[in-house]
Amino acid sequence: MDDSKPRVLPLLLVASALTLVVTVVRFVGERAGWDARWFSSEAGSPGNPFGIVWLVPVFGFAFGRRLAAGGKPPFVSSFFVPMFGLVTVAGAAAYVFGHLEGEELRGALRWLLYGSAGASLLGLFAWPRAFFVTLAYGLLARAPVALLQYLDIEKGWQTHYGKVHPKLMGLDAEARQWTLAMAQAAGWVPFTILLGGACAAIGAASVRKA
Q: In sequence order, which residues have a C-beta less than 8 Å from that of residue 93 and are 6 or more positions away?
A: 112
Burial of 138 (0-12, 13-18, 19+ CB in 10 A): buried
List, as one string, the DSSP characters of 31-87.
Answer: HHT--TTTS--SSS-TT-SSSGGGHHHHHHHHHHHHHGGG-PPPHHHHHHHHHHHHH
What's the Cα-to-Cα distance from 12 to each of 4, 65, 135, rounded to whole Å? 18, 13, 11
Does residue 158 lie within any of the structural domains? yes
Q: Does the structure show a pLDDT above 90 at 206?
A: yes
- 83-101 pLDDT tens trace: 999 999 999 999 999 999 9
Calculate the CA dihedral of residues 24, 26, 29, 33 and round it to 10 degrees: -140
For residue 85, being part of any structural domain is answered with yes
Residue 2 has pLDDT above 60, yes or no: no
Burial class (CB in 10 A: 0-12, 13-18, 19+), 210: exposed
Asked, for residue 4, whether it belongs to a domain, the answer is no
Tell me: pLDDT of 1 over 70: no
Average pLDDT over residues 192-196: 98
Encode pLDDT of 54-86 as tens digits: 999 999 999 999 999 989 999 999 999 999 999
Q: Is residue 113 predicted with pLDDT exceeding 50? A: yes
| pLDDT greater at residue 42 or residue 13 | 13
Q: Which of 139, 163, 151 is nearest to 44 (CA)?
A: 163
In a domain, 210, yes or no: no
Give the dihedral sign, CA 167/50/53/181: negative
Residue 3: inside a domain, yes or no? no
**Single-letter residue type at 3:** D
Mean pLDDT (the chain) is 93
Residues 6+ apart with CB under 8 A from 114: 186
Please tell me the distance from the alpha carbon of residue 183 to that of residue 197, in angstroms, as a whole number.
19
Is pLDDT of 33 > 70? yes
Number of domains in the chain: 1
The verdict on residue 46 lying in a domain is yes
Q: Is residue 2 part of a domain?
A: no
Among residues 61, 46, 48, the alpha carbon closest in space to that of 134 is found at 61
pLDDT band at 210 (very low <50, low <70, confident <90, very high): low
Q: What is the mean pLDDT of residues 134-149?
A: 97
Q: Which of 1-10, 16-25, 35-44, 101-110 has the highest mean pLDDT?
A: 16-25
- What is the mean pLDDT of the segment spanning 17-41? 93
Structural domain boundaries, residue 122:
9-205
Where is pLDDT greater, at 191 or 210? 191
> Nearest Cα to 58, choosing from 208, 195, 205, 207?
195
Asked if the structure places residue 49 within a domain, the reply is: yes
Banded pLDDT at 6 (limits 50, 70, 90): confident
Lowest mean pLDDT among 21-25, 34-38, 58-62, 108-112: 34-38
